[in-house]
Structure 1
């Protein structure tokens, strides 16, 4: 565990979010102090489309708002929110920029993070149309076609804990799956395989490497990524590498920035630093410093 500045009493350990919840969060220690974070695995009824459930709640009465920053995964999220900005159920598409959420007063969110491509396969929608936008859940799941959606947001937000909320959401999604009459989708299965390789294999840094590995034409890859994922394959590769970089920097990996850049597939340190600053809003070493001392 790294340490942070504790003021007059010197240095002491700062709480760190567990690894399974920290990736994608910017300055994770700071966020842990500002809100409560949680994650639950998806149940077997929906695990072919939903990767996990997540929750965040906060009470900042008498304190200034906190702006939580996230470098989101290439996934669609179904959320149930109750805060000063909005209340209800929402579908948020793949967010290609840094996502900033204002945490003010008292609020909470419970979300279902779909697998990359999962929401497109589940609904049949071209999720590229949802990119960088958030819409009320009723626009995607209208009550006329999905009567189970009536009162769902209120029930989820009124549930006693995250386990009960997960059950309610999975009941709805299971009923929706029956109405949608889902069948095996080979294109979606291929998308899952390709995205998993992009995330886990840092040596994959270019689209042509991916097309060679999977024997798929680049235009086909681009088309299925827009349809299922909502963003292009080049962007997905870069997003995973930036998430890796931010995560390692927040853990204190600062001794050799040039080596880190090469490990993440960048041509050199300058390219990594430039892209990191564009996406995160500060240079890598400045980000590491603020993360470790926050």
Structure 2
């Protein structure tokens, strides 16, 4: 769960702005999956559209104009970048989000301002030269110290929620809610409460998100593999069900996505479109 080269979540990797992921140190790994830092500098009048299918999780993001807490999402989304800027974000584990917001389902498909003035001031001071790796390292260290000072140690139930996430992310054979409940040695009802409390999504939505992320990565990396074979490998009964889920979530068919995954596309603004890196 800490592999910063994990391709899932990024729909068009070839279009990324300058971007870096930093793994969480061991003492924060139960709270944070990784730190992520995009930096962009665009010509006047150009727009970079970040298309993404986010991980089923929340992010806390420090940017030049404030801090936002982004909740779990139920579909693909995008963010348009203009001018120049940066962000320093963290992808939160289930144990991490509840330490920051007690009900992640209440911020589903939205983002809210987050008040942490000291964290904001210190990271802005560190990121005066955002393209410098040393500045980014200092920002990550500051973020880590804030997390250690602010967030409590996760309890046993929160760690069980982390295990739920690890199993779904790491084992493609987990396809159904009862599969996951069995692996965790809990009832389906307990699993549903765990997912609702610590992620803000239903267990089946979490499973499908990881499988669709994997499907998108396979469609990009294996242009010669038939869509039906990808669907079968992900546990779908047939190609039609995979196509239906994929289209409903991403807003395009697997075939259309595969056609567009190779390089930049030009939007109405004339700008390169690129995905969110979290």
TM-score range relative to shorter protein: 0.7 to 0.9
SS at match of 2:50: strand
1:188 maps to 2:158: yes
Map residues 153-192 of structure 1 onto 2, 5 A cutoff: 153-160=120-127, 161-177=135-151, 182-183=152-153, 185-192=155-162
Structure 2 gap ranges (5+): 128-134, 265-278
1:52 maps to 2:29: no
Corresponding residue of 1:135: 112
Question: TM-score, structure 1 length as denominator?
Answer: 0.81
- Provide the C-alpha distance between the structure 2 equivalents of 1:69 and 1:48, rounded to a whole number of angstroms: 28
Map residues 253-292 of structure 1 onto 2, 5 A cutoff: 253-292=223-262
1:235 maps to 2:201: no
- Provide the C-alpha distance between the structure 1 equivalents of 2:79 and 2:6, rounded to a whole number of angstroms: 17
Q: Deviations over 1:163-193 (max 9, x none)?
A: 111111111111113xxxx355111121111
CA apart distance, 1:62: 2.5
Corresponding residue of 2:51: 69
Which one of 84, 94, 108 corresponds to residue 116 of structure 1?
94
Change in CA separation of 1:230 and 1:117 when aligned onto 2, cut-off 3 Å: farther
Change in CA separation of 1:250 and 1:157 when aligned onto 2, cut-off 3 Å: farther
Residue-pair matches, total? 255
- Provide the C-alpha distance between the structure 1 equivalents of 2:153 and 2:63, rounded to a whole number of angstroms: 31
C-alpha contact (below 8 Å) 2:95/2:154 kept by paired residues: no
RMSD of aligned residue pairs (Cα, Å) = 1.9
1:216 maps to 2:180: no
Corresponding residue of 1:100: 78
Corresponding residue of 2:102: 125
CA apart distance, 1:293: 4.7
CA radius of gyration, larger in:
1
- Provide the C-alpha distance between the structure 1 equivalents of 2:153 and 2:39, rounded to a whole number of angstroms: 36
